[in-house]
Structure 1
């Protein structure tokens, strides 16, 4: 499968794509444009950005085609040795899951505009980029020739965003023998030496916690905007991050650390430790699953916790972020009617909208809080010999490393195996039920000398620790694992 991507008039924001299918075989074939993208569990209907669409055979003759769904086409291919589909796509949106093109740079998410052929989604792909010679390219895909990328299949292609421009800036470091690159488009408003030191620190801690890194290299792709923005999306060996404003200074750097640590942990949790319902992705429709509280909640919890363990955050900075989760959950959805599993399922309905009052919970915020509850419970009953780390490491070994997918019941089994007994209260109250979290959360926080309370300004996180609780808090925040 071959794609030629060009931009003859970049000021128009239109990409021109030629998709060539070798040896179509048969009288007909069908091609599909994805209706959604990995990391965002809602239908986005990218086909609405296609303006022109036509097809020719190997002799240059037009091929008969017609649209059979909103994003699927059927082509008559009898006697064709190859088929080339030519179409234009409007790329004029700058978020971490979109595509954008102008006269100064190019930002591509192939999931937005690359077609695949029904029955041939597993075949290798090559991508030729018709870009100016002075453009530098940042992407997780290997470059097999100048301006040529390769992917083992369509799944890898569309999980590998790209930045290209003459202004790209790159910082690099190595962790546990793995090369990491941090790319910036739109400016590098940070101290490069400090950034490399901090990124290496949280990367070192994450890899140590999980035992190994899933990929041979990794790329942080950063688009820095002059206006306020905060968005990140995980990918196979990269992440796309959009932040702003450029001149925000220390707050922007804190945002960069938080989203980068979060997205890096996704390299294990969801990219490899993936719900069975998402293996393989079906890009034509909703892929319902109930465990996004694991995929996003545990990742949200660990994103900031790894920053504390690595010394990038101090206690005050970490507890400030925890306070944010508390406020957002309890002030927006503390009495919500839906459980975490129900809210995970309904991401495809309205998961990224505010929704009606007290209907659903956030798989990110409540998911992080219930991850904290489980982590502190396991630490308490085992004197820190076991923790949520133990659970995630076991999930990696059993489901992520062999890439076989897990169900909700698998996560329950692994967590209870680590605990050494059943924990029905946790699943019934925190995960599958809608019981408010105040009691269980404060029960867990008491172990490390903290309490969540309400005051005249809303939710407050109070330090109630004596000497014993401060010792437990230090072990938790440093990730200490006591000897048996």
Structure 2
């Protein structure tokens, strides 16, 4: 080292000579002096700050969400002081943050946060609880992202903390090794009810806010245990959770919005449905889906999402796998855990997948890769202009699940293997090696390569990806499901339909939503916001009246429709079609004979794997 360089380094703050993880942690304090009005007061203390401007920012996006959410919009009353309490200059260079100057190496940055949406994306605060998604809650400083963080929650009486953050009882704080982990750690504050158990040497815990009984929570936790066992059986064991613990951070209160959001060692579960009746099964489906994510997407992670960028929209070409295959397994785990019967699994899972894949316009036009790339525009993204997604898009959840189903059945029929084996191979190749983040995040090419290894047929793997993943060919589900004794059929065969969404108006007219490609109204030249005045000479008063009208006709009949469009009132002929809705049912339900081979195939596919 040259002498001049050595002297220059001696003049720099000592912190710059140490790795970021060894530098002074970023310290947060979160208090709730005005919780009844949905406010928190947050203080962030940055110490050992290099000279110059400190750029403080709020995240614009959130892990597991891909659109921009602009969390800075809910931040106000911003102040900054130095170590002596002296007020510092705070300037806004853009809508998302604040530049602080004149500090003495310490910046104490304080703000009020408003939050009244309890879900996996935002912050929900009231006198009863606080459910905090960290990107919506905590500001950060550019250049200090690799420093550890400590969070202290100033809790109202009776509240406790549910979080994957590591507790430090001596300090009364919660620890994250760096910003990526901190922002990936949703936290629920309130009078938690806790259910905890050991599974394969790991602690699994449910920390729950709900209005129900302890018996309802016990039953829900027992079903969750079954799901956890079945998920672990697919991969041959649980992941090595960073702090030896996995937490279901659950909020089932009336003011809650329905959502589930995956994280490395926890999941955020929110719903206003109770843990009884149909709500319990709906909530358990989210549990199953999100727990599978602790492998798929959190550890088996696409390279184009690693690391997550909190200051822009994040696009991935692989959500068909990360979310879609998880969607498939989330429902399959409920069947393997004995929570669904075969009939329920067909009704609740397979029918929706097959119907969407074969009857919606989107998958006929675009590939799963393309659908994945649309996430920044569709995943809770906000916009006020109309779009044509009814005709151009199918969720990567559905198109991915449809391909997972087809691949699983092809692997079983053609290669004497299964999708479980494929997932285990990907886990070993791209998931097991971790250090608070995946050591080998995957690419699209990796997914194809591992499929070739599992099948020992690289030609098949290449063809599958070309036809169905980067391409958009349709699978023959009727043929694929037949060996399991499952039938694809019209759900309402012979019934006439308009295949339309209609909003019924007080004057007994009906306003059309976006008309689907190839549907009767589409072919007749009618579109969204056109108002149907009469159908077959009658006013479309309500849905019941329209159904009565359709029941008097058969597919192929032509009815006259009077409509007010943008070019005036006109009457057009509309040809009714047969209802295209599809369903999947067991042969037994359809009164078809089932062979022993079909029963065996179905059992090997759907039976529980946990020992």
In 1: Cα distance, 2:227 partner to 2:262 partner? 17
3-state secondary structure, aligned to 2:251:
strand
Measure the CA separation in 2 of the matches of 1:425 and 1:452.
Answer: 25
Match of 1:122 in 2: 146
Instruction: Write the deviation string for residues 370-419 of structure 1: whole angstroms up to 9, x where unpaired.
Output: 00111111111233xx2111111121112112212111111111112111
Select which of 444, 466, 475 maps to 2:595: 466
Helix, strand or coil at the partner of 1:282 = coil
Residue number among 93, 96, 118 corresponding to 1:68 in the alignment: 93
1-structure distance, mates of 2:96, 2:220? 42
Deviation (angstroms), 1:336: 4.5
Verify: 1:429 aligned to 2:467, yes or no: yes
Corresponding residue SS for 1:8: strand
Aligned equivalent of 1:342: 370
Of residues 438, 442, 453, the one that matches 1:406 is 442
Tell me the CA shift for residue 319 of structure 1.
1.6
Change beyond 3 A, Cα 1:56–1:193: closer
Give the structure 1 partner of residue 124 of structure 2: 100
**Which of 173, 187, 209 does residue 162 from structure 1 map onto?**
187
Matched, 1:11 2:36: yes
Helix, strand or coil for the counterpart of 1:349?
helix
What residue is the counterpart of 2:168 in the other structure?
144
Question: 2:288: which partner in 1?
Answer: 261
Structure 1 residues 382 and 328, CA, compared in 2 at 3 Å: closer, same or farther? closer
- Identify the residue that residue 259 of structure 2 maps to in structure 1: 231
User: Larger radius of gyration, structure 1 or 2?
Assistant: 2
Displacement of 1:335: 4.9
Say yes or no: does 1:393 pair with 2:424. yes
The 1:17/1:452 distance shift into structure 2, 3 A limit, reads same
Residue 81 (structure 1) aligned to one of 91, 97, 105? 105
The aligned runs of 1:231-310 (5 Å cut-off) are 231-246=259-274, 249-310=276-337
**CA distance in structure 1 between the aligned counterparts of 2:259 and 2:358, rounded to whole angstroms:** 23
Q: Cα deviations across residues 251-283 of structure 1 (Å, max 9, x unaligned)?
A: 111112211011001001111111111111111
Q: Does 1:203 find its partner at 2:221?
A: no
- Calculate the TM-score normalised by the size of structure 1: 0.92
What secondary structure is seen at the aligned counterpart in 2 of 1:413? helix
Please report the RMSD computed on the Cα atoms of aligned residues, expressed in angstroms. 2.2
Q: Greater shift after overlay, 346-355 or 206-215? A: 346-355
What do residues 170-200 of structure 1 show as CA deviations (whole Å, max 9, x unaligned)? 2222221211111221323563443333211
Give the corresponding residue for 2:402: 369
**2:248 paired residue number:** 220
CA–CA distance in 1 between the matches of 2:166 and 2:489? 51
- Structure 2 distance, partners of 1:98, 1:223, is 13
For residues 57 and 200 of structure 1, do their structure 2 counterparts lie closer, same or farther at Cα, with a shift above 3 Å needed? same
Deviation of residue 121 (structure 1)?
A: 0.8
Offset at residue 330 of structure 1 (A): 4.1
Contact preservation (8 Å) 1:229, 1:245: no
Range moving further from structure 2, 397-406 or 370-379:
397-406
Q: Determine the structure 2 residue equivalent to 1:360.
A: 393
Q: Which position in structure 2 is the counterpart of 1:176?
A: 200
User: Is the Cα–Cα contact under 8 Å of residues 181 and 220 in structure 1 kept in the other structure?
Assistant: yes
Cross-structure match for 2:19: none
Q: CA shift at 1:62, angstroms?
A: 1.8
The one-character-per-residue Cα deviations of 1:66-92 (angstroms, maximum 9, x if unpaired) are 2223213322245x1311111111111
1:450 to 467, 481, 486: 486
Secondary structure at 1:260 match in 2: helix
In structure 2, how many angstroms separate the alpha carbons of the residues matched to 1:281 and 1:176? Answer: 30
Give, in angstroms, the shift of residue 367 of structure 1: 0.8
How far has the Cα of 1:363 moved from its partner?
0.8
Residue 313 of structure 1 deviates from its aligned partner by: 2.3
Residue 4 of structure 1 deviates from its aligned partner by 0.7
State the secondary structure of the residue aligned to 1:287: coil
| CA deviation profile, 1:304-355 (whole Å, cap 9, x unmatched) | 1112222232222222222233334445446542211011011112344785
What is the distance in 2 between the residues matched to 1:346 and 1:391? 26
SS of alignment partner, residue 153 of structure 2: strand
TM-score by length of 2: 0.74
Partner of 2:93: helix, strand, or coil?
strand
Unaligned runs of 5+ in 1: none
1:16 is displaced (CA, Å) by 0.8
Partner of 1:188: 212
Q: Does the 8 Å CA contact 2:362/2:390 hold for their aligned counterparts?
A: no
**Which shifted more, 442-451 or 469-478?**
442-451
Any residues of structure 2 matched to 1:314-329 within 5 Å, and which? Answer: 314-321=341-348, 322-329=350-357
